Amino acid sequence: MISRRALEIAAAALTGIFGVVVVVSSIDNGIGWSSAGVDAGTFPFLTGIIIVLGSLYNMGQGAMGRGTLAMVRIAVTPSELRRLAGLFVPAAIFVAVIPLVGMYLASAGYVFAVLALPRRQSVLRALVIAAATPLALYVVFERMFQVSLPHGALAAAFGY
């Protein structure tokens, strides 16, 4: 179970860290006014400062349990978290294996795994959808619009 307070603080911390990174890296580009006009880092620097200040405010509000969502105590229940993971984890694995096996094999495997393993669909139907997906991708992207999708290290090993 994740409380809303923890989630608010985590989100504000995330945006705050992003802001700090933006500030630090834009100082390298130079801030202020030079002979070439407004320096490249000025705009990002200002936005970074705004992000940091805003995040601190949001974190304070979240920690004190104030703000628009003050009534909601629990953000994510355990069963909700399980469903979220059920979608996100396979998707992340799918993305992770693309460089290895290529878009076509990865998408077929992903569709099959998501449909057949939790027994949401019959194995046959899952197989059909899993086969049709890369085929449709190939026809539309590789053939019609000549956008080459990653074939993966595996295909490269076989000489494609």
Partner 1 sequence: MENLQSLLHGFTIAVTVPHLTLMVIGVLLGILVGVLPGLGAPNGVSLLLPLTFGMQPVSAIILLSSMYWGALFGGSVTSILFNIPGEPSSVATTFDGYPMARDGRPTTALATAFGSAAFGALVGVILITFLASWVAQVALAFGPPEYFAVYFLAFASFVGMGGAAPIKTVVALAIGFAIAAIGIDTVSGSVRLTMGIDELVKGVSFVVAVMGLFGIGELLIAVEEEFQARAVSSRVDWKEVFRALGRLPQHGVALLRSAAIGCWMGITPGGPTAASFMSYGIAKRFSRNGARFGTGEAEGIVAPETADHAAGTSALLPMLSLGIPGSATAAVMMGGLMIWGLNPGPMLFVDQKDFVWGLIASMYVGNIVAVALVLLTVPVFAALMRIPFAVIAPLIVIICVVGAYSVSNSYLDVVLMLGFGVVGYLFKKLHYPLAPLVLAIVIGDKAEDAFRQAMLMSKGSLGIFFANRLVTTLVLAGMALLLLPLALQIVRLLRKPDEAAGEKVRII
Tell me which residues touch partner 1 (CB under 8 A).
Answer: 4, 7-8, 10-11, 14-15, 18-19, 21-22, 25-26, 29, 33, 36-41, 43-44, 47-48, 50-51, 54-55, 57-58, 61, 67-69, 75-76, 80, 83-84, 86-88, 90-92, 94-95, 98-99, 103, 107, 110-111, 114-115, 120-121, 129, 133, 137, 140-141, 145-150
Which residues are within 8 A (CB) of 109 and not within 5 positions of it... i.e. 6 or more apart?
Answer: 94, 97, 101, 130
C-alpha span between 28 and 21 (Å, rounded): 11
Beta pairing partners, 34: 37
Match 């949401």 to its residue by tokens: 120
CB of residue 146 vs partner 1: minimum separation in angstroms? 7
> 35: which 2 tokens?
């002979």
In the bound state with partner 1, the residue whose beta carbon lies nearer, of 112 and 159, is 112
